[in-house]
Amino acid sequence: MDKKLEKIAEVLKKEGSTVTFFVGAGISTNCGIPDFRSPKTGLYANLQRLNLPYPEAVFDIEYFKKSPKAFYTLADELFPGKFLPSIFHYFIKLCQDKGKLRRCYSQNIDTLERIAGVEDDKIVEAHGSFANSHCITCKAEMETKVLRKLMKTGIPKCPVCKGYVKPDIVFFGEGLPSKFFDLWDEDCDTEKNLAIVAGTSLAVFPFANLPHEINKNCKRVLINREKCGTFLDSPRKTDIILLEDCDKIAEKLVDLLGWKTELDALIAKG
Ligand code: CNA
């Protein structure tokens, strides 16, 4: 384990090197937000109370059009504002502060990368976020604070056409934001780049393809509770696999890189 961490720190310390993150729900579990697929604690294991025909229906656009209540029950629990970033989120922010962050591709909808201080041009929220909302019928925009208020008394409806309003989270059956495709065209061939994949089962496409498509000279790192996706199907000789809690790994890397004081300051600021 220590040798692997030293190798990662060594690459990060190199003049001109950068890092691209590919993250998922696992980097937010320590913040109190359940992931999808962890047995027992994941959202899919705990959705019986919503009476769904199948677990993914809660994020299925066709199901939402017929029955938006299940999504809104869950959205109320997950809505940003109640949660603080994890050590891993701050590690991403520190990489930015040190001029090392090429990009952070996130599947998360909790906006914790932003809350940790990662800048808009460095984040790709591949599956959207709760930051904006639109009517699914006439596409009129609704401010988050209005949506939040309407959520307290029922399902938010559009004041213009009475259609259902939905946060701009990408549901199954919807396209990904153009920012995802535009920036990936720029990023996928970056040389001298480290790819850190963390807290994701790499089960949702096209996101799951990114670490597979990344430049062959790029060292790939997986920090996750289990091996998954391209690290199982198409491993590369140079891959580094760390099957551990992502915050524990981030803390150790921060120590090796000499960034501990800055990390403590970020955590203290909250
Ligand atoms: P997932 O399929 O639930 O996988 C999470 C992975 O993280 C699993 O392999 C876990 O073993 C692993 N994991 C969990 N906790 C830790 C930890 N502390 N340290 C290391 N590994 C850990 O979730 P994915 O992100 O892969 O799936 C993509 C979905 C999840 C996206 O569409 C998201 O919108 C969606 N999602 C997001 C959130 C959020 O925004 N926080 C929460 C739940 C689901």
> Distance between CA 36 and CA 254 in Å, rounded?
28
* Alpha carbons within 13 A on the beta-carbon side of 257: 25
Distances (CA, A) of 71 to 77, 150, 230: 10, 14, 30
Nearest atom of ligand 1 to the alpha carbon of 23:
25
Residues making up the chain, counted from first to last:
270
Here the ipTM equals 0.97
Cβ neighbours for 87, distance < 8 A, ≥ 6 positions apart: 30, 247, 250, 251, 254, 263, 267
Give the per-residue pLDDT at 39.
86
> Distance between CA 8 and CA 256 in Å, rounded?
10
Alpha carbon nearest to ligand 1 atom 5, residue: 200
Burial class (CB in 10 A: 0-12, 13-18, 19+), 239: middle
Cβ atoms of 268 and 21 within 8 Å: the answer is no
Cα of 158 vs centre of ligand 1, distance in Å, is: 31
Give the per-residue pLDDT at 74.
87
> Does 89 participate in catalysis according to the annotation?
no
Strands (E), 127-179: 128-135, 141-142, 165-169
Alpha carbon nearest to ligand 1 atom 41, residue: 25
30 ligand 1 Cβ < 6 A:
yes
Each residue's pLDDT, cut to its tens digit, for the chain (270 residues) gives 799 999 999 999 999 999 999 999 999 999 999 888 888 888 888 777 888 898 889 999 999 999 999 999 889 888 888 899 999 999 999 999 999 999 999 999 999 999 999 999 999 999 998 888 999 999 999 999 999 999 999 999 999 999 999 999 999 989 999 999 999 999 999 888 899 999 999 999 999 999 999 999 999 999 999 999 999 999 999 999 999 999 999 999 999 999 999 999 999 987
Amino acid at site 205: F
Give the per-residue pLDDT at 45.
81
Give the per-residue pLDDT at 194.
96
Give the per-residue pLDDT at 270.
76
Cβ atoms of 70 and 51 within 8 Å: the answer is yes
Give the per-residue pLDDT at 251.
98
Cα of 41 vs centre of ligand 1, distance in Å, is: 11
> Distance between CA 165 and CA 146 in Å, rounded?
11
Give the per-residue pLDDT at 249.
98
